[in-house]
């Protein structure tokens, strides 16, 4: 195990990053608030008792999940990312090779995409690649019998000028990924928790072992766990004391390092459809 690899989670806002001696990151990855307010559980079976609309609405109906849905400042978020990401290298790595430039990944609602791109551009992140994550289920429950239900998550890969570091193992990587849920060995802490498997896939592509990954809205700590297991240093901020304590005790207490693995090949559409059947 590399003793230089660190994993630190702060019960604080990312806006207070100057309090901590955090190294510059190769990758910032975060699931920002979707700002759905009192309809948060509209995309969660918890809206209904027992997850079944035949049983009537539960105590979660018409409720917000997080204070940050009302207080999140996207301008300050991109200011933070601009300060904490490494500077772009002056030179490329040669023709046909990716640069070592940093990047960020922002999970967001489909309706937020243009809004996020607009603010990212104001802080120097002029380029983006749209990423899709395809599920084999839909969490949407409101009027599910009267409309097409969403089964897709979205994210934006954002970068300044140079294409970011890209470790594809010699294989083509598509702009969509099959959504792989975690097993029982990963605790369920946060209602909007992203799978460790998905985060590992992204971290493997855009970083090397020993690089730094930062999650400004760490939630359950899955980003930190994924990064540390892959031999990357990880730093996160979480304003909720409850989520932060649970992340430290349940998600990060038994994290072990794994050896470097080859990035698996992209699934074909036929393989995906077969897995959804």
Measure the CA–CA gap between 125 and 38, rounded to whole angstroms: 31
Q: Using the predicted structure, report yes or no on whether residue 103 has a pLDDT greater than 90.
A: yes
Sequence ranges of the domains in the chain: 7-34+74-276, 36-71
**Residue 269: pLDDT band with limits 50, 70, 90:** very low
Q: Find tokens 């969509």 and name the residue.
A: 176
- pLDDT (mean) for 110-114: 90
pLDDT value at position 273? 41
- Report the CATH architecture of 7-34+74-276: 3-Layer(aba) Sandwich (3.40)
Write a three-state SS string for 41-99. HHHCHHHEHHHCHHHCECCCCCCCCCCHHHHCCHHHHHHHHHHHECCCCCCCCCCCCCC
- pLDDT (mean) for 41-46: 60
pLDDT value at position 48? 74
pLDDT digits (tens, 9 = 90+) for 199-227: 999 999 999 999 999 999 999 999 999 99
**Residue closest to 237 by CA, chosen among 29, 2, 24:** 29
**Residue closest to 191 by CA, chosen among 39, 37, 36, 41:** 41
**Residue 271: pLDDT band with limits 50, 70, 90:** very low
pLDDT value at position 181? 92
Q: Using the predicted structure, report yes or no on whether residue 146 has a pLDDT greater than 70.
A: yes
**pLDDT averaged over the chain?**
83
- pLDDT (mean) for 24-47: 71
Could you tell me if 238 and 217 are in contact, meaning their C-beta atoms sit under 8 angstroms apart? Answer: yes
pLDDT value at position 143? 74
Question: Which of 26-35, 43-52, 79-88 is predicted least confidently?
Answer: 43-52
* Percent above pLDDT 90 for the chain: 56
More confident residue, 5 or 35: 5
Main-chain phi, psi angles of 153, to 5 degrees: -105, 155
């Amino acid at each position: 195990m590399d003793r230089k690899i660190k994993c630190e989670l702060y019960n604080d806002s990312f806006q207070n990053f100057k309090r901590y001696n955090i190294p510059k990151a190769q990758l910032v990855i975060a699931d920002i608030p979707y700002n759905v307010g009192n309809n948060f559980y509209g995309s969660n079976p918890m809206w209904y008792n027992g997850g079944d609309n035949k049983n009537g609405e539960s105590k979660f109906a018409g409720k917000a999940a997080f204070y940050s849905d009302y207080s999140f400042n996207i301008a300050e978020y991109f200011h933070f990312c601009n300060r904490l990401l490494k500077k772009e290298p002056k030179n490329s790595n040669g023709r046909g090779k990716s640069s070592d430039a940093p990047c960020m990944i922002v999970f967001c609602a489909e309706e937020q995409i243009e809004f996020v791109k607009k603010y990212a551009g104001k802080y120097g992140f002029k380029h983006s690649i749209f990423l899709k994550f395809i599920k084999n289920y839909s969490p949407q429950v409101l009027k599910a019998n009267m409309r097409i239900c969403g089964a897709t998550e979205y994210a934006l890969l954002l970068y300044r000028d140079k294409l970011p570091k890209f470790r594809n193992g010699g294989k083509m990587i598509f702009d969509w990924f099959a959504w792989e849920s975690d097993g029982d060995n990963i605790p369920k802490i946060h209602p909007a928790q992203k799978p460790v498997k998905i985060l590992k896939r992204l971290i493997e592509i855009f970083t090397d072992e020993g690089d730094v990954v930062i999650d400004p809205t760490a939630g359950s700590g899955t980003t930190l766990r994924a990064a540390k297991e892959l031999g990357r240093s990880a730093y996160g901020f979480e304003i909720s004391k409850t989520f932060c304590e649970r992340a430290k005790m349940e998600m990060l207490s038994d994290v072990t390092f794994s050896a470097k693995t080859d990035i698996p090949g992209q699934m074909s559409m036929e393989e995906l459809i077969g897995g959804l059947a």
